[in-house]
Structure 1
Amino acid sequence: MIALLKRDLALAVRAGGGFGLGLAFFLIVIVLVPFGVGPQAELLTRIAPGILWVAALLAALLSLDRIFALDHEDGSLPLLATSPLPLEAVALVKGVAHWITTGLPLTLAAPALGFLLNLQPSAYGFLLITLLVGTPALSMIGTFGAALTVGLRRGGLLLSLLVLPLYIPTLIFGAEAVRRGADGFSATNALVLQGGITLGVFAFLPFATAAALRVNLR
């Protein structure tokens, strides 16, 4: 599993669409929002948690179609399916690799960009925690969607349509936790619910992803 993880990280960096593309998109969205809604500090403060989470979610979408596409194109996906490593473990490693190359950089960059939206100082810690808890779920859900659409021509749009509805609970609880933390209220319930979603996703979706891959490889 470690060897597969190292291989996927190297491919993600070499092929692009990992660190640079997601971060660039994230930065562009955050920079453009003040131009679109105006320079009102109170308005930016109010919408900052939601905008930061939406931008991170959309940035994570950019590289989802690459999770299995490169393996499918070079013929290594059937080899992975017949290797001693179970397909469930392959799916889990793919999700973790996507998070390391996309979700983790977005998580680390988000607090640094929060000042552009006049994010309250008390919200920075909650923003970092919610992204650390929630972005792994985005990557694992995206891995499942990528398995459903692997091999399809122009499957990127279909992939986005499939995973976006599944992203909504994580988005709602993540933004709500940051908002409540910024306002001085308890964010425990939102954080617990978001953590439960992430744990449930990692417990169930590797098996669903493996099943989808087996169907597509027949």
Structure 2
Amino acid sequence: MADLLTNAAAEQAQIGPGGLFMATLRRDLMLSLRRKSELVNPLIFFLMVITLFPLGVSPEPGFLAQLAPGALWVAALLATLLSMDGLFRTDFDDGSLEQLLLSPQPLFIVVLAKVLAHWMLSGLALTLVAPVIAVMLFLPAEGMPGLMLSLLIGTPTLSLVGAIGAALTVGLKRGGVLISLLVLPLYIPVLIFGTSAVQAAVTGLPLGGYLALLGALLALGLALAPLAIGAALRISVSG
């Protein structure tokens, strides 16, 4: 195993940043697709929360339609958070994370590829199934574009911020609860703007401002989160 990891590190040193990004993205996608249970768990959780929500409040269509934007976004947030613990866990357990940290290639690119792979299998999947689930909550058709666009722009930020918590707790045996405590307060702006975008779409108001704010948060996350994730990984592994 050590020889394989050494060879992999040597191969990474010989390829460019673009090749490293694509190789890391392809590897993480293939590994995630092999673990089908972890792949479908966020979707099942998302469906369960939305299914149980009318039972816990009221099945009245008008009432559910008013609460649908917030309920859908909270369920998507929690479903994304559910899958964060395993983002770096496998690499940490088999020792490949240490090889990545020792590699001469920029850690920024590797981290960004891993977060993108996580988002494609969690945030993007939730975005695609959200309109179907929204019908269960009687969300008006006018709100569907706002729901799709807000999730498409907002869920990558959830993955970026959640990855910081996953990196800080990767060395802990039970870091799932700690991740929630660390990143949930940071999710609040995304939750507010995402929910507001859906509500604006339902009422016929312009939602460009809310989408622009979500885009600004995403741009900030893309610029700063990979650096924070890399620093957190080094702290966790060295500790």
User: What's the TM-score bracket when you normalise by the shorter of the two chains?
Assistant: over 0.9
Does residue 19 of structure 1 match 2:44? no
- How do residues 88-127 of structure 1 correspond to structure 2 at under 5 angstroms? 88-127=108-147
Task: Describe the SS at the equivalent of 1:143.
Answer: helix
Distance 2:38 2:69 in 1: 24
Does residue 86 of structure 1 match 2:103? no
Q: Deviations over 1:15-64 (max 9, x none)?
A: 34543111111111111111111211111010000000000000001110
Distance 2:38 2:210 in 1: 29
Aligned CA-pair RMSD: 1.1
Q: Report the residue type matching 1:209 in the other structure.
A: I
User: How high is the TM-score relative to the length of structure 1?
Assistant: 0.97
Q: Deviations over 1:157-207 (max 9, x none)?
A: 101111111111001000000001101111121111111111101110101
Q: Which moved more, 1:33-42 or 1:113-122?
A: 33-42
Q: Name stretches of at least 5 consecutive residues in structure 1 with no aligned partner.
A: none
Does residue 208 of structure 1 match 2:233? no
> What's the % identity of the aligned pairs?
50
Distance 1:32 1:215 in 2: 40
Distance 2:88 2:109 in 1: 14
User: How high is the TM-score relative to the length of structure 2?
Assistant: 0.88
Does residue 131 of structure 1 match 2:151? yes
Q: Report the residue type matching 1:71 in the other structure.
A: D
1:31 maps to 51
Distance 1:36 1:116 in 2: 14
Distance 1:82 1:70 in 2: 17
Q: Report the residue type matching 1:159 in the other structure.
A: I
CA contact (8 A) 1:148 1:213 kept: yes
2:215 maps to 195
Q: Report the residue type matching 1:111 in the other structure.
A: P
Q: Report the residue type matching 2:70 in the other structure.
A: G
CA contact (8 A) 1:49 1:178 kept: yes
1:73 maps to 93
CA contact (8 A) 2:171 2:237 kept: no
Q: Report the residue type matching 2:150 in the other structure.
A: T
How many residues are paired up? 218
Q: Name stretches of at least 5 consecutive residues in structure 2 with no aligned partner.
A: 1-20
1:52 maps to 72
Q: Deviations over 1:64-121 (max 9, x none)?
A: 0101100000010011112232111121111101101111100000011111000011
Q: Which has the larger radius of gyration?
A: 2
Task: Describe the SS at the equivalent of 1:66.
Answer: coil
Does residue 186 of structure 1 match 2:206? yes
Distance 1:56 1:18 in 2: 16
CA contact (8 A) 1:60 1:102 kept: yes
